[in-house]
Every structure is written in structure tokens, then in C-alpha cells.
């Protein structure tokens, strides 16, 4: 009965109710949009990094620290015998990396050269392009970001100078076979890809690798003195850390939006308690306890949010649809920052469980904010109320 | 008659020069180039594709392992100091008032945009310790009679697998050098265009270093004045000097 009464009161409130519902709905649309953006960004980054670099697991040489360029020179170790059957069967992809200097058009720049077997099916990388032909030039593949920074194009010839593992300089002439769109920045920025056997030869590191990529978690427990397993949490640690920082800003934004919406609800409720004091008195005279009257007002406030839940998908549909189908891409120029997951168009997916939590939180806040002004009712004398007096 | 007399007088030297071995030549070059201590005022002009830039510095060295240099100009580089102690290299940047150790991949970078890398500066100069020398012939280079010496690395850890040098027969100074990668690709050339008598030895005072993989006209290295085998205070080759 209270629910029916509350529903009728909201409808009778007319424009005032509609404004509240629309305000809450707009707040919810923004919150859902932000939630979907962060969720889709991280999901895309995870997919891209897995497809292009991590696979379903990675075994990395202990000396290698991707954040310490000084460690690259010593980032190699013999391929463990236990992995060789996996390499032959295609379950394991060995990758060797080395710091190098490249000379595109006679300019010197630092680069990381990575060697990958020309036959592998775990990563999306078209490694068959690394097959050496009859020419003396070593074919290499680079990503678009690398092409941009080095001003190299497909067909360009340049020299790669590298130190072998004993410290002597070696140099080869290479030809850019393909410039690829590589969505994983760590496999693109500053990186030149060439055939593993060729890199092992010029580096004097036969049968050595820097890391291995797997297509499942079979080698999760593998560890030896040279290599250790890198789980997803460790591999994506920087991405998750970046997300955590963004989340903090997101929470601040949420708090501001919710605060604004709740002010609207609180204001409406406070005004309602004042304007409807005769009604409160009548209800009390009819036998409504103060608690039930407070419940009625709280329900009315909460119903705004319930209506907003219904209105949100209707109002937000064009926006939600646009970002789900057309997507969001960071403006040109900003993609130079090479942030994981932001190299490609982010098409939004809407995480229903996270959105449901957001809705519940908003519901709880609305209930509290709707209840706060009704505390006056507890102090109300029904006779005074009938006379139109509120303390 | 005078000519004949001169020829008779020079005969023993010429005979000696004919029989000299590659090792003896390289040893003589090492003797010329390696100093106990030195202090030099140097100008380094980097000729890049677009412009040229000259830097002046004062350099001190003690044996092969210790070297200290301070940039005097241009204003942007003034106060920059470099210290080499054995296998370690530090750079002091006056702008940030910080010293950083150059190691790993940074050693591959060029020194102040020149054709020399930090690694080149760290190179061991005792040629015979690292290379097997072979006398490949003779050549007239820059108007002077030279031996062609080929140096091949004795061990795998030497930076440049092969070097070729034209050694001035009279002054035992390399007038031209080629440094090669393991693959046989020419990486660097060094041309000495001016050789002066310093104390009791010949010393190249004007050289052009050229990274052959890079475009540009190379880096000129001019020694305006040099003192050799002088007494240097020990504190010059200490990290404390970087911030002084």
C-alpha cells in the first residue's frame, strides 16, 4: 500500500519528479559510460598484449627487466632442454632480444631487435614474413609506431649494428619487409623484428632465448636458474597500476556526480516534508506511525532512482550504441604515448555486474538522502501537522 | 755525391724497415700513442648533416685506465665533465648538478652527437694486447710512405673484430684506420691529417673520426696543445672532481 501511495505521489509531483529522474539518469549514463570505457580499455589491452606478446603464459630470463634498458644486453640464456619438445611441436615460441643501433637513412638511433621463429602460431605476429630470401639483405618487420619514429617504410634498406654476446660489434644490412599495425606497443615501439636464427647468429647466441611464450598454462610451474614464469598479474602489473590511478580519478568524478544528483533529491525531499505537513498530519491521524510516514517519503525518493534505472538505457541508448559500435579512439598525436589498449579503437562492452553495483550504490545513496529530511517527521505533533505547523 | 752519401747513410734504416715485423710496427705505434700522463686542450667539431658544432675541452689522462675531461664551450655544454676509471664512465651534467654512470646500452650512444661512442672512448689502446697484427703491404697515403697493417682480434670480446691501419713508416703513427664489424662491414674510419712532434714522439694532433654507417662529414678532433708525461695530481681522477 505504501509503495502504491509513494508511486502515486511521485506521479502527482509532475515536473519536479521528472527533473529528479532525468538528473539521476544523466548521472547514471555518465557513470555507465565511464565504467564501460575503463573496462573496455583494459579488456582490449589484455587481448592485444596476449595476442601479440604474452600468449597464455610467458617464461622470461631472470636477467631481463623490461623497465631497465641496461638489463637488455645480458638478457639471454640457453634454451632449457625441457622446452625443446614444446618448441618443436609449436606449443612454445622462443624470442631473443638484444639492444642495437640502427641507421635508417644514415641516422643513428637505438632500438631493440627481437628474433622470432619464422614458423609459429601462438602469436598474431606474421612471422613467416621473416623468412630469409635469396638476397643478402635480412628481412625485418616493424610496427607503425616504429616506422613513424624511424621514418622507415616497406622496402627501405638500413643497417643494424649489434654487439654479440662476447662484446664484439656485428652489423647486417636489413630490408623492411612489412610495416605492420601492431596493437601491442611493447611489440612495436623501438622494436625491429627479425628471424630468430639470424639474430642468434649475429649475436653469437646460438640456441639461446630471452623469453618464451606459451599457448596454455602448461609450463606455469617451470622454473630454473635462468628462467622464471611470469603470470598475468605480473605481466600486466603496470597496466593494472595505471588503471588503479585512473580509478581514483574515476571515483572522484563519481563522487561529484552522485553528490550533485543527491542534492537534487535531498532538496526535493526536504521541500516535500515542508509542503506536505498537512498530509503528514492526516496520515498520522489516520493511524500511520511516524516510521511508516518516514518510509513513505524514503520510498518516494528511492523511486526516483528506480525510474532513473528505467530511463537510463532509453536516454543513453544513442550514446551507448555509438561507443559500442563505432567506438572511441584517442586523438591523433596522443597515440604517440603508446599506451597499451589505446593504439586501436576501443569498442565499448558494458560490464553488467559492475554497472549493477553502481546502480545499487546509487540506490543506497538515494535511500539515505531521501530518509534524511524525514527525521523531522519523528518530531512532528499530528495536531500541529494538521494545522500546518512543522518544527 | 751528396745524394749518394745520404743513400749510404740511410741504407741501414731502409734495410731495417724492410725486415720489420707487423708486431714491431704496432709496438712502435703503441709506444708513440700511449702516454704515462697527458694534458691536452682539444677542439671537437661535429659535422652533422645540417650543421657543424664545435666544443672545446680540456682533457687529462693517466695511463690507459684513467681519463678526465671538462667541456669549456659552447655555453650549453660548458661545465660538463667526464670521468673514466677503468671500465666505468661517469658524466656530470651542470644543468642538473648530477653525475650519472654511463653503462649498458647508453655506452652505444654518441658522445655529444659526435661520431664517437662512449664505448669508443673506453676502448683499450694497447693494440697488441687485443689484436694479431699482420703486415699486408705498403701504400703511399697523403704523400707519405706507409705500411698497411691488418689487425685481427685475438679474442671474441674485442669490440672491433678487424682493423686496417696505414702506419707512417717514418713517424710510426696511424694516418688512416678502418674499423670493421665481425660481418666485415666497415663501421668507422679515422684519418690523421696533422702529426706533430710532442716531447720525443710523434703524435696525431688533427683527426677526423667518421661513423661510416652515419651520414655527415664526421667529427674533427683537434689537439691545440698537449703536454705529455707531466705530473698530475691524483685527485683529478676522482669522482669528487665531477662536482668541483
In this predicted structure, the answer to whether residue B49 has a pLDDT above a threshold of 80 is no
Cα nearest neighbour of A167 on chain B: B157
Q: What percent of chain B has pLDDT over 70?
A: 89
- What pLDDT is stored for residue A343 in this prediction? 78
Determine whether the interchain pair A107/B215 forms a contact, defined as Cβ–Cβ distance below 8 Å. yes
Rounded percentage of chain A residues whose pLDDT exceeds 90: 41
Is residue A118 located within the same domain as residue A23?
no
Is 50 exceeded by the pLDDT of residue B14? no
Same domain, A304 and A258: yes
Q: What is the nearest CA distance from B25 to chain A, expressed in angstroms?
A: 25
Nearest-CB residue to A110 (from B49, B105, B161): B105
Taking an 8 Å cut-off on Cβ atoms, the answer to whether B157 and A202 are in contact is no
Asked whether residue B12 carries a pLDDT value surpassing 70, the answer given is no
**Section A96-107 average pLDDT:** 91
The yes-or-no verdict on residue A384 having pLDDT over 80 is no
Number of domains in chain A: 2
Answer yes or no: is A221 within a domain: no
Residue A334: per-residue pLDDT: 63
pLDDT averaged over every residue in chain A: 87
How far apart are the C-alpha atoms of A250 and A246, rounded to whole Å? Answer: 6
* Domain ranges for chain B: 22-243
* pLDDT above 60: residue B6: no
Nearest beta carbon to residue B157 from set A107, A167, A202:
A167
The residue that leads in pLDDT, A337 or A311, is A311
Residue range of the domain that includes A92 = 57-215
Q: Does A344 map to a domain? A: yes
pLDDT at position B18 over 80: no
Q: Establish if A223 belongs to a structural domain.
A: no
Residues in B whose CB is inside 8 Å of some CB of A read 49, 103-106, 108-110, 153, 155-161, 181-183, 185, 187, 211, 213-216
A238-250: pLDDT as tens digits: 888 888 888 888 8
Cβ neighbours, 10 Å, residue B188: 23
pLDDT at residue A390 in the model: 54
A232 within some domain: no
- Domain co-membership, A71 together with A122: yes
Nearest by CB: A108 against B110, B159, B185? B110
Kindly indicate whether the domain formed by B22-243 is annotated with CATH number 3.40.50.20: no
Rounded to whole angstroms, how far apart are CA atoms A145 and A181? 8
pLDDT value of residue B9: 42
Q: Over chain B, what HEC string results?
A: CHHHHHHHHHHHHHHHHHHCCHHHHHHHHHHHHCCCEEEEEEEEEEECCCCEEEEEEEEEEECCCEEEEEEEECCCCCCCEEEEECCEEEEEECCCCEEEEECHHHHHCEHHHCCCEHHHHHCCCCHHHHEEEEEEEEEEECCEEEEEEEEEECCCCCCCCEEEEEEECCCCCEEEEEEECCCCCEEEEEEEEEEEEECCEEEEEEEEEEECCCCCCEEEEEEEEEEECCCCCHHHHCHHHHHC
Residue-level pLDDT at A61: 95
Least confident of A343-352, B1-10, B44-53: B1-10
Mean pLDDT of B213-222: 90
The per-residue pLDDT for A362 is: 87
Mean pLDDT of B45-61: 88
ipTM of the complex: 0.82
- Same domain assignment for residues A97 and A196: yes
* Model confidence band, residue B159 (pLDDT cutoffs 50, 70, 90): confident
Size of interface A-B (CB pairs under 8 A): 81
CB contact under 8 A, B214 and A107: yes
Distance from CA of B185 to the nearest CA of A (A): 6
Residues B182, A71: C-beta atoms closer than 8 Å:
no
Min CA distance, A103 vs chain B (Å)? 6
Of B105, B110, B187, the CB nearest to A72: B105
What pLDDT band is residue B5 in, cutting at 50, 70 and 90? very low
**pLDDT over 50 (residue B11):** no
Q: Which among A73, A106, A166 has the least Cβ separation from residue B105?
A: A73
Nearest C-alpha of chain A: how many angstroms from B223? 27
Task: Examine the pLDDT at A75 and tell me if it is beyond 80.
Answer: yes
Report if residue A8 sits inside a domain: yes
Query: Which carries the bigger pLDDT value, residue B139 or residue A110?
Result: B139
Work out the minimum CA distance from A70 to partner chain B, whole angstroms: 5
Same-domain check for residues A252 and A372: yes
**A34 & A164 share domain:** no
Q: Rounded mean pLDDT of A161-190?
A: 92
Answer whether residue A299 is part of any domain: yes
> What's the CA angle centered on B215, arms B210 and B218, to 5 degrees?
30
What is the pLDDT confidence band of residue B10, given thresholds at 50, 70 and 90?
A: very low
Nearest CB partner across the interface for A168, out of B49, B158, B216:
B158
The β-bridge partners of A180 are A143
Position A333 confidence tier, pLDDT thresholds 50, 70, 90? low
Question: What's the pLDDT score for residue A104?
Answer: 93
Q: Is the pLDDT of residue A336 over 50?
A: yes
In a domain? residue A371: yes
Of A119, A80, A252, A266, nearest to A197 by C-alpha is A119
pLDDT at A367 > cutoff 60 = yes
pLDDT at B117: 79
- The reported pLDDT for the residue numbered A46 is 92
Please give the average per-residue pLDDT across A84-93, as a whole number.
Answer: 90
What pLDDT, on a 0 to 100 scale, did the predictor assign at position B4?
A: 42
Residue entry with cell 573496455: A40
This model's pTM is above 0.90: no
Asked if B215 and A164 come within 8 Å (Cβ–Cβ), the reply is no
Mark whether A136 and A250 lie in a shared domain. no
Which of B87, B102, B108, B158 best tests the A interface by mutation, with the highest count of A CBs <10 A?
B108
pLDDT band at B15 (very low <50, low <70, confident <90, very high): very low
Structural domain contains residue A222:
no
Percentage of residues in chain A with pLDDT exceeding 70? 95
pLDDT of residue A93: 94
Same domain, A30 and A109: no
Partners of A67 on chain B (C-beta within 8 Å) are none
Residue A337 above 80 pLDDT? Answer: no
Chain B contacts of A103, Cβ < 8 Å?
213-214
**For residues A87 and A118, is the Cβ–Cβ distance under 8 A?**
no
Closest CA–CA distance from residue B141 to any residue of chain A (Å) = 27
**Does the pLDDT value for residue B3 go beyond 70?**
no
Lowest-confidence region among A7-16, A62-71, B93-102, B173-182: A7-16
State mean pLDDT over A204-215: 93
Residue B220, pLDDT above cutoff 50: yes
- Mean pLDDT (whole number) for A127-155: 89
Segment B189-195 shows an average pLDDT of 95
Domain shared by A209 and A276, yes or no: no
Q: Which residue has the higher pLDDT, A280 or B8?
A: A280
Tell me, yes or no, whether A152 and A278 share the same domain.
no
Amino acid at each position: 500500500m505504501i509503495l502504491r501511495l509513494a508511486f502515486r505521489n511521485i506521479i502527482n509531483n509532475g515536473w519536479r519528479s521528472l527533473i529528479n529522474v532525468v538528473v539521476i539518469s544523466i548521472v547514471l549514463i555518465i557513470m555507465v559510460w565511464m565504467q564501460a570505457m575503463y573496462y573496455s580499455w583494459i579488456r582490449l589491452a589484455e587481448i592485444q598484449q596476449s595476442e601479440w606478446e604474452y600468449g597464455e603464459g610467458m617464461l622470461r630470463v631472470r636477467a631481463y627487466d623490461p623497465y631497465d634498458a641496461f638489463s637488455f644486453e645480458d638478457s639471454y640464456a640457453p634454451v632449457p632442454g625441457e622446452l625443446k619438445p614444446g618448441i618443436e611441436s609449436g606449443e612454445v615460441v622462443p624470442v631473443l632480444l638484444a639492444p642495437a643501433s640502427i641507421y635508417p637513412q644514415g641516422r643513428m638511433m637505438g632500438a631493440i631487435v627481437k628474433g622470432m621463429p619464422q614458423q609459429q602460431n601462438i602469436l598474431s605476429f606474421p612471422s613467416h614474413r621473416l623468412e630469409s630470401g635469396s638476397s643478402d639483405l635480412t628481412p625485418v618487420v616493424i610496427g607503425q609506431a616504429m616506422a613513424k619514429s624511424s621514418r622507415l617504410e616497406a622496402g627501405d634498406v638500413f643497417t643494424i649494428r649489434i654487439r654479440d654476446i662476447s662484446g664484439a660489434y656485428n652489423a647486417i644490412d636489413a630490408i623492411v619487409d612489412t610495416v605492420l599495425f601492431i596493437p601491442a606497443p611493447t611489440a612495436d615501439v623501438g622494436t625491429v623484428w627479425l628471424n630468430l636464427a639470424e639474430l642468434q647468429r649475429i649475436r653469437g647466441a646460438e640456441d639461446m632465448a630471452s623469453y618464451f611464450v606459451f599457448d596454455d598454462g602448461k609450463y606455469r610451474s617451470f622454473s630454473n636458474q635462468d628462467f622464471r614464469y611470469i603470470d598475468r598479474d605480473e605481466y600486466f602489473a603496470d597496466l593494472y597500476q595505471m588503471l588503479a590511478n585512473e580509478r581514483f580519478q574515476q571515483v572522484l568524478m563519481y563522487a561529484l556526480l552522485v553528490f550533485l544528483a543527491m542534492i537534487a533529491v535531498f532538496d526535493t525531499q526536504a521541500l516535500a516534508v515542508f509542503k506536505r505537513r498537512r498530509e503528514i498530519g492526516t496520515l498520522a491521524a489516520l493511524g500511520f506511525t511516524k516510521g511508516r510516514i518516514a518510509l513513505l517519503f524514503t520510498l518516494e525518493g528511492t523511486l526516483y532512482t528506480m525510474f532513473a534505472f528505467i530511463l537510463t538505457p532509453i536516454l543513453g541508448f544513442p550514446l551507448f550504441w555509438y561507443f559500442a559500435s563505432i567506438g572511441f579512439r584517442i586523438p591523433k598525436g596522443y597515440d604517440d604515448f603508446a599506451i597499451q589498449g589505446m593504439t586501436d579503437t576501443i569498442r565499448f562492452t558494458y560490464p553488467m555486474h559492475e554497472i549493477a553495483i553502481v546502480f545499487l550504490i546509487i540506490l543506497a545513496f538515494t535511500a539515505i538522502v531521501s530518509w534524511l529530511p524525514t527525521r523531522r517527521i519523528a518530531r512532528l505533533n499530528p495536531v500541529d501537522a494538521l494545522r500546518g505547523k512543522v518544527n | 755525391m751528396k745524394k749518394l752519401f745520404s743513400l749510404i747513410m740511410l741504407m741501414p734504416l731502409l734495410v731495417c724497415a724492410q725486415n720489420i715485423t707487423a708486431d714491431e710496427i704496432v709496438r712502435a705505434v703503441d709506444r708513440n700513442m700511449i702516454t704515462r700522463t697527458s694534458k691536452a686542450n682539444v677542439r671537437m667539431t661535429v659535422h652533422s648533416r645540417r650543421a657543424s658544432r664545435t666544443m672545446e675541452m680540456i682533457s687529462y689522462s693517466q695511463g690507459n685506465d684513467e681519463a678526465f675531461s671538462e667541456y669549456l664551450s659552447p655555453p650549453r655544454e660548458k661545465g660538463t665533465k667526464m670521468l673514466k676509471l677503468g671500465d666505468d664512465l661517469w658524466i656530470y651534467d651542470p644543468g642538473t648538478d648530477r653525475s650519472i654512470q654511463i653503462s649498458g646500452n647508453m655506452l652505444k650512444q654518441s658522445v655529444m652527437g659526435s661520431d664517437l661512442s662512449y664505448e669508443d672512448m673506453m676502448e683499450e689502446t694497447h693494440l697488441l694486447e687485443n689484436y694479431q697484427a699482420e703486415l699486408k703491404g705498403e701504400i703511399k697515403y697523403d704523400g707519405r710512405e706507409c705500411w698497411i697493417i691488418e689487425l685481427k682480434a685475438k679474442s671474441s670480446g674485442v669490440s672491433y673484430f678487424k682493423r686496417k691501419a696505414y702506419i707512417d713508416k717514418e713517424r710510426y703513427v696511424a694516418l688512416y684506420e678502418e674499423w670493421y664489424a665481425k660481418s666485415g662491414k666497415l663501421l668507422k674510419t679515422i684519418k690523421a691529417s696533422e702529426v706533430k712532434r710532442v716531447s720525443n714522439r710523434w703524435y696525431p694532433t688533427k683527426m677526423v673520426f667518421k661513423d661510416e654507417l652515419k651520414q655527415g662529414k664526421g667529427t674533427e678532433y683537434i689537439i691545440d696543445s698537449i703536454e705529455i708525461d707531466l705530473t698530475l695530481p691524483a685527485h683529478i681522477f676522482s669522482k669528487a672532481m665531477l662536482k668541483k
